Structure 1
Amino acid sequence: MIDEPVLFCLHFLGGSAREWRPLAERLGPAARCVAIDLPGFGDAAGHPGGDVAAMADHVAARIEAEGPSGPWLIAGNSMGAKVALALARRHEDGDPALAGLAGLVLMAGSPPCPEPMAEERRRAMIAWIDADPETRRREAEAFVSANVGAPLSPEDHAQTVEDVLRANPDAWKAWLTGGANEDWRDRIGLLRVPALVVSGAQDGDLGPEAQAALTLPHLARHRHVVAVGAAHLLPLERPDEMATLIRAFLAAPPEEAEAPLLPPAFAALMGSERVNTRLRTTLRERMREPDGPFCLSVEARATLTACLDRVLPQPGPGRIDLARRIDARLASGTGDGWRFVTLPPDAEAYERALRTVDAAARDAHGHPFAALDASEQDALLARAASGDLPECPDGLAPDLMTCWFEEVRGEAVRTFLAHPAGLAAIGFTGIGAGGDEAEALPGYRLTGLNEREPWEQPVLETVGDAR
């Protein structure tokens, strides 16, 4: 529970602090909203704008001047969300001016990577901002209308159009040619601050698929909500819904992915005298999540996670994070000492193979692999297995993809079964084949069909017989 927080609010391209008034009114005492005009917009329109780092500096100075005494959060809509991500990274890197950051609220957020915008539309937006007043008003009206799922109230529509018209043209162009195209993926990395991510189902460029593929992989603790019928200007379109979501987020910020739990009967067996001390120690060590170092890019990790979800599905809560464990193994350079001689070293092979899978997904469906549905992902993985994926720059050749996919399937199974929860899931009781005093506790005596040892019964009654 976050008590009486301050919510610093950052607007969309062409917006202003006024965008947040409807939401602030509905949040009431749940949070105090401090809306900030980014350089070049709203009351700061006299400023020519700047890159993402400069905008982050501007907001950090305002936060420091405000001096929140307790926890605080940053809410960002579109352009403002990319600035919020940059500030979150500075906070996690130990910037004392940003101490106390307790959460992010990202609405239709611009991702850490360059925005997925058609160049023709980018050029058109740059052109009309410098046009004559009549053209600018007509285009501003069209811009606002195109970014909402349903018409705003007349008052909100008029105010938003006026905000667009008073934007500094230099700042507008600086974002479209600079900030929106900046690549912050490596700098942002993986953030651990809790995040609420909201996307509009009718948002063309930065909707649910884009958020899932481009933003969520950078957030270790996130909750993603899709606003049905809404588009890009979520604080104006859905202030009631956004206020409800933020209140729920403040009451219960998302935790990191739930760790897999051992069935009580298997846990009891693991802790019993039937399991020798060295094995028990090893099994318990394997339950710890690796904390790095890692080597895969954020995009590659997201693609690997999606691949593994299809290769080895884990239904229900508390899944083993196979991608995290494989990534740590790749970074350590350890392994079983075997690989296809035609493949490059493991870490390089994974990065290039996952790039190939993602490129094939974008080519076939216009979306990253992680954003596709299960049937589309399965079809692409079948093509990888048969050596039928197209080549891509810096990827793996089709025949090498066949080798890599055989490797990744084997590694998925090995990683799954190395975890006690994986052994429990298949009803494996072999860990109890003899404790520290093996002679006093012999393993299996009953070898007939469907015969079970008395000490196996609790485990096998819970998860089934894997023999």
Structure 2
Amino acid sequence: MTATAFCLHALGSSSEEFALLRSELAGDLDLVGIDLPGFGRSPASAGTTVEEMAVAVERAIGASGATEWALVGHSMGGKVATVVADRTLSGANGLFGLRAVVLLAASPLAPEPMAEERRESMLAWAEHGRIRPDHAAEFVDANTASTLPPDRHEMAVHDAERTDPRAWRDWLLRGSREDWSADAEPNPAPALVLAGAEDGDLDADAQRRLTMPHWPAAELHVVDGAAHLLPWERPVEVAAVVREFWSRRVAPSPVVPADTARVLASPRVSARTRGVLAVRALPDDPATEPRALTARQLDTLRAVARVVVPQPGPQQVDLALRLDAQLAAGQGDGWRADGMLTDADAYRAALDVLAPIADSGDLPAALEDAAAGRLRSDGPLDAGQLRTWFEDAGVDLVKQWLAHPATMSDIDYDGFANGGDGVRKQGFQLLGAGQREAWEPEGTAR
């Protein structure tokens, strides 16, 4: 099943700007454009602040029923997409299933850089009503590296002309100036940030300074021969970058089944629990540098994980990478056996012993020896300590596997849905063996 990408357009545009990208990405992603209030066919009465636009988008995503989805935000839509993504991963907006974010010449959470002279000029265009055709053409031409082909130019100009003057002015006077950065936590979702090589205010330098710090798992790509209107200017090139990013960075990770995702998005699950599980469901990036281990130690831990917790199929959780993050954060169980090294040091020492064994292909037998207390080394851990470490490592790896909501679905666990944030907690009514409530997903038969 193809994932859905909800696309949020730029100022003076509409969902029509994604028509070419939609054709290019057909079969890889199903692009669904959303007209923000006051643009395209959407009335401004729905509200034109960033908050109101974000709520409109959240309602559209919820109404769609999508359970595996991405956000694509262009310029103004990039700011809105970031707010929606942040609220999704906190669990606050009741949505679940976000896989990644693509930002095209995005307006940042902080106030958007814009010369005041240009702002005043653009405001004057809508002072007495809708934007005139000559001003609309001036706006499009000023935001492209070269003149668009006639059909694209005509549509882009038409979008600017039909923009509600209130929405145009509200973005320039307020929305672009709103500062959402002060309280925004870094967002761990995979993010692809694109910038036109000939953009003015929102070029690659601006994206590095204003956008990238919010996305620790982001990649920046510069589109040559383009300025600000990337979907109109370079749809083939943009689609190619998005396709490669999705296939490499997102597609190899497990997807939470639709029935379980719908329960997670329901009032039966608290916002805090939904947010925790939304972050756990994000794709791993195998290219991430380890934080507690060396690169070789991490590769050895991956080999150990394949023996201890074999995962069938091509979509797998990177248990070793998640365990490395646990070690770096000091989030163990809080105790260790008498005489044992700290968790991180014990992992480093044990993995150094196992690395040459893993290279030779004899790891399963060596792990059996470790479990029996027969594995010896010249390092800081004796055979008994290696056995203790391997017991802890097995527990840690299994915990990381079970913590993923796709695994919870696979083992038919839905205990997280015991009540939401309301006064009355729904709980479970049917507690007998083999009994299943009407709302429970079917899970996987065992």
TM-score bin (small chain): 0.5 to 0.7
* Aligned with residue 258 of structure 1, among 273, 284, 289: 289
Checking the alignment, whether the CA contact within 8 Å between 1:7 and 1:33 is kept in structure 2 is yes
- Post-superposition CA distance 1:215-249 (Å, at most 9, x none): 00000211110001211111111111111112112
Q: What's the counterpart of residue 407 of structure 1?
A: none
- Post-superposition CA distance 1:174-203 (Å, at most 9, x none): 001111001111233200111111000100
Q: What's the counterpart of residue 282 of structure 2?
A: none
Q: Which amino acid aligns with 2:2?
A: E
Q: What's the counterpart of residue 21 of structure 1?
A: 19
**Structure 1 residues 263 and 148 mapped into 2: Cα distance closer, same or farther (>3 Å)?**
closer
User: Is 2:213 the partner of 1:181?
Assistant: no
Alignment of 1:105-120 (within 5 A): 105-120=102-117
Q: CA deviation at 1:47?
A: 3.2
Taking structure 2 as the reference length, the TM-score comes to 0.58
Q: CA deviation at 1:132?
A: 7.3
* Aligned with residue 84 of structure 2, among 87, 91, 98: 87
**Which structure is higher in helix share?**
1
Q: CA deviation at 1:130?
A: 2.4
User: Is 2:116 the partner of 1:128?
Assistant: no
Alignment of 1:218-367 (within 5 A): 218-253=214-249, 255=285, 257-259=288-290, 262=294, 288-290=327-329
Counterparts of 2:53 and 2:325, CA distance in 1: 43
Counterparts of 1:170 and 1:263, CA distance in 2: 54
The RMSD of aligned alpha carbons is: 3.1
Q: Secondary structure at the match of 1:161?
A: helix
Counterparts of 2:171 and 2:9, CA distance in 1: 13
Counterparts of 1:111 and 1:52, CA distance in 2: 12
**Structure 1 residues 178 and 132 mapped into 2: Cα distance closer, same or farther (>3 Å)?**
closer
Bigger shift: 42-51 or 188-197? 42-51
Checking the alignment, whether the CA contact within 8 Å between 1:71 and 1:102 is kept in structure 2 is yes
Q: Secondary structure at the match of 1:167?
A: coil
Q: Which amino acid aligns with 2:126?
A: I
Q: Secondary structure at the match of 1:34?
A: strand
Q: CA deviation at 1:290?
A: 3.3
Alignment of 1:183-202 (within 5 A): 183-202=179-198
Counterparts of 1:34 and 1:289, CA distance in 2: 39
- Aligned-residue sequence identity (percent) comes to 40
Counterparts of 1:32 and 1:264, CA distance in 2: 39
Q: Secondary structure at the match of 2:102?
A: strand
- Post-superposition CA distance 1:255-275 (Å, at most 9, x none): 27411653769x99xxxxxxx
User: Is 2:95 the partner of 1:98?
Assistant: yes
Q: Which amino acid aligns with 1:37?
A: D
**Structure 1 residues 192 and 46 mapped into 2: Cα distance closer, same or farther (>3 Å)?**
closer
Checking the alignment, whether the CA contact within 8 Å between 1:75 and 1:104 is kept in structure 2 is yes
List alignment gaps of at least 5 residues for structure 2: 251-284, 301-322, 332-347, 353-377, 383-446
Taking structure 1 as the reference length, the TM-score comes to 0.56
**Structure 1 residues 286 and 77 mapped into 2: Cα distance closer, same or farther (>3 Å)?**
closer
**Structure 1 residues 249 and 137 mapped into 2: Cα distance closer, same or farther (>3 Å)?**
same
**Structure 1 residues 291 and 213 mapped into 2: Cα distance closer, same or farther (>3 Å)?**
farther
List alignment gaps of at least 5 residues for structure 1: 269-283, 293-419, 425-432, 438-467
Q: Which amino acid aligns with 1:116?
A: P
Counterparts of 2:184 and 2:208, CA distance in 1: 16
